[in-house]
Structure 1
C-alpha cells in the first residue's frame, strides 16, 4: 500500500518525432497496481509535492548520471534460437533455416532442453532492458507452455506464439494440420487462463511452411479468441519467389496472408524488406504493423529495409532483434542496426541524387519503445510514461563503472545518445515491469 517515487531526469517518447526530456521530473508509481499515478515536470520542492499523496511513499533520487527511460519493446524474437545466437550466419535465409534453425528447434521436444534454454534467454533479454517481447517458440505444445511459465516467473510482459508448420519442413520437424490447429487452440486457452501480462499470438512460421488449410484455420482461431497474429513477410528474394510459386492464385506475397484472413489491425509482419507499393498500401489498409529487424537483414544478407517507406504511409513500425537471425539479444543493438540501415538507404538515395532523411534520435527511441508498443497493440499499456500506463521502465546509469564515459558537460540529449550508441546492460541499474523490479546491474533501490 505504498508509492515508489522517482525524482530526476525522465526521458520518453511522445510521438515519432517528439522526444520528451524532463528535468527535475517526478514520477510516482502505485506499488499495488504497478501503474503510473502522476508525472510532474520541473519540480523544485519534491518533498512538498509528495506530501500531498494519500499513501506512504519511498523516494528515489536519481543522480546526475542517471535518467528514467521506458522499457524496450522487442517486436520479433525466436526464443529457441538463442541456443546458437552469434553463430551460423554464413548462409542466406532458406539454407540457414534447414542447416541451423530446424535442427536446433527440434531439440525442444525435450522439456529439459526447453526449460534450461528459455530461462537463459528470457533472463538475458530482461537484463538488456527488454520489458516486452514478442516471441516465436517451436511447434511443441509442452515446450510452449514451459516458455509461458518461465516468462511468468521472471516477470516479462510478452506475446508468445506456438509455431505452426505442416509443409515444406523436414520430417523430424513438422506437424499434421489438424494437430497443429488443435495444439494452437490448447496453447491459446492455456495462456489466456493464466490471466497474466502474457498474451498468446497465432504464429504461422511463414507461408512456405503452412498449407492453405492451416492458414485459414489459424485465421479463424485468431478471430475466435481475439488474439494477435505474427509471421514473416518479404524477407529474402528466394523466399519470395518460392512462396509465390506455392500460392499462384494470390497476387503477391502479402496478398497470400490477406487471402487467408491473416492481415488485420492485430497482425504484424517481420522484415518486409522487399515490398511493392501495392503491398505497402495493403498493410496500411489493414492497419497491419511491421517489425524492422535490421541486424538479421544484414547478418543473413537478406537486404536493407527502407523503414521510411512505411512511416511515410502511417504504418505502425517497431524494432526486433530477431534472435538468432540477429546475433544480439539487446534492443540497443536493434537501435544501432536500424540507424545504420537508414544510413545505407540514405547513401543509396544520394547516389541516385535523391533526397532522403535517415532515422534520427527521436525516431529511434520511438521505434524501440512506443512504436513497438503500437505494433503489438499495447500503446495504451506501455511504451512511455503517460499517467495510467504500466511502469515498464529502465533506470539508466552512465557512471564511470560502465561502458559510457561522461565528460561532465553533456546535455541530457547527449546522455541519451551516448546510452543508445555506447551503452550496454551494464548501463541499466534497474529494470521494472508493471512496477516490479525484474533485473538490473545494481542492488534493489
Structure 2
C-alpha cells in the first residue's frame, strides 16, 4: 500500500515558500530540506550551498538530491477541504440553477449512477489524478450513498498516494426515492461499514481516513442527524456537511426544524457541531451562529467559486477568521467549476473584494492570506495542522514543485515549457509568487509529493 512504501532519504534543494502565519509568507531563495525514509522532514536549512547542506548532516551523504527546476520553488501541497468526488464529471455544468434546483437536475442523477463500480472507478480514478495534478495533496471527499463505491474511492486514494478523508453520503429524506437511505438504521449501518473498511485498509490513517457525511440538514431527519451524532461520538472520526449556503436553503431548514434556533443549532442539537466538524460554505451565518461555531470549535470550508456560480452569496471570510474560527478553501466540485485549489485562492480574493465594495477595504484578503487558507488553514480544518501545511521539522513532506516560465531576450519562451506564467527576470520573489497565484495552473505544477512519495510528475520534471 502507498502508506508503507519504503523511501530513500532525499534532500530537496532550491527556493521554497510557505506560510509562517496568516499574513506572512517565508520566501527562502536558497534552501535545503531533508526528508527521511518515512517521508518526514528531518531538517530545514536556509541560505546554504548544496555541499554545506549535505556535509552538515551525518548519514545524508548518499541521499538523493532533487533540485528545483524551471525558475520555480517548492510549496506545500494544497488542501481541498470540500470536494464532491462523485460530481467530477459535471464540473463546469451548473446552467442557470440555484442550489436546490441544481441538486435535482444535475447532481442526484449523476451520483446515483455510481452504484456501478466500473463507472465509479472511471470517475474516481480521474478526479484523484486530476486533483493531484493541480497540487492537491489532501482532499476531504464526498462520495455517494453506496458503500462499495465509497470504499473504492478510498482504495484509489490509497493506491495513488493522495491523503484523503472519504465520506459515504447520508440522506434519508428530501432526495429522490431512487437515491436515498431507506431508513435511519440503513444510514448508520452503511456509514459504519465504510468507516470499518477504510480503517482496515489504512489502520493508522497514514493517508486515508473515514469521515461521517450527512449531506446537509434538509436531506436528513432530526432522528438521522442524531444517530450520526452518536456514531461520531462512538467512533471519533471527523464529520463534514453543508451550512447556510443560500437563503432558500436556510428558509427550508427553518421550516423543517422549527424547534431549533438556527441552522447551526440543528447540527449542535444532534451532537455534530464539534472540533472535528467541517462546515462548507457558511455564507449567511448569523452572529449567534458564528459564536456557536467558535465555541464548539467546528471548522469552515470557504468555497468561493461555487458560491458565485450558484449565486449563493459572498462569505465574509475576514469576519470568520477574526472571530477565531479555522477556515480553509474548498473547490466544491461540481458546484465549483474547477478542481484547482489555486483557482480557489484567486476566487477567494475576488469574493473578498466583492464584499469590500460594501463593507470596506478591511474585508479584502491578500495573496499571503489566501495561500495560508490553501495550506495551513486547510490543515487546521482537517485536524492535521501538526502534520501538513508547511515546511517544518517533524512535518510530512506534502509538497509541490512549482515551475515558472522564463522569457528570453527575443521575447519567446526560454524553453519549450507551456507554463502560463512569464517571468522576465526583474521580478522580486514576492512578484513571482503573486504572478503564480494570479496566472498559474496545473501546467505550473512540475511534481507533487505526499508523505515523501512522488505521486505526480510532468515531462518537465528531471531527477
Query: TM-score, normalised to structure 2's length?
Result: 0.93
Do structure 1's residue 100 and structure 2's residue 106 form an aligned pair? Answer: yes
Offset at 1:226? 1.0
- Provide the residue aligned with 2:51 in structure 1: 47
Aligned to 1:330: 340
Query: Would the aligned equivalents of 1:73 and 1:368 in 2 still touch at CA under 8 Å?
Result: yes
The question of 1:256 aligning with 2:266 is answered yes
**2:224 matched to 1:214?**
yes
Query: Which whole-Å deviations, capped at 9, do the CAs of 1:27-46 have from their partners, x for residues lacking one?
Result: 1111x201110001111x32
Equivalent residues in 2 for 1:399-414, closer than 5 Å: 399=405, 400=413, 401=417, 402-414=419-431
Q: Are 2:77 and 1:71 equivalent residues in the alignment?
A: yes
Contact 2:316 2:363 survives alignment (8 Å) = no
Q: How many residues align?
A: 439
Gaps of 5+ in 1: none
Deviations 1:298-352 (A, max 9, x none): 00011111101101111000000000000101111101110100010111124xx
1:88-147 deviations in whole A, cap 9, x for unaligned? Answer: 331000011011101110101111110111001110000011000000000000010110
Unaligned runs of 5+ in 2: 1-6, 406-412
Looking at structure 1, the residues matched to 461 and 426 of structure 2 have their Cα atoms a distance apart, in angstroms, of: 28
Partner in structure 2 of residue 182 of structure 1: 189
Alignment partner of 1:267 is 2:277: yes
SS in structure 1 of the partner of residue 11 of structure 2: strand
2:303–2:332 CA contact under 8 A, matched in 1: yes
Q: How does 1:11-410 map to 2 (within 5 A)?
A: 11-30=17-36, 32-43=37-48, 45-51=49-55, 52-55=57-60, 56-63=62-69, 65-175=71-181, 176-195=183-202, 196-350=206-360, 356-399=362-405, 400=413, 401=417, 402-410=419-427
Q: SS where residue 75 of structure 2 aligns? A: strand
Q: Check conservation: 2:94, 2:310, Cα contact below 8 A.
A: no
> In structure 2, how many angstroms separate the alpha carbons of the residues matched to 1:289 and 1:17?
20
- After TM superposition, the runs of 4+ consecutive aligned structure 1 residues lying more than 4 A away are none
Shift of 1:23: 1.8
Shift in Å, 1:63? 4.3
Q: Tell me, in whole angstroms, the C-alpha distance in 1 between the residues paired with 2:163 and 2:197.
A: 16
2:409 corresponds in structure 1 to: none
- TM-score, length-normalised on structure 1? 0.97
Stretch of structure 1 that moved more, 114-123 or 60-69: 60-69
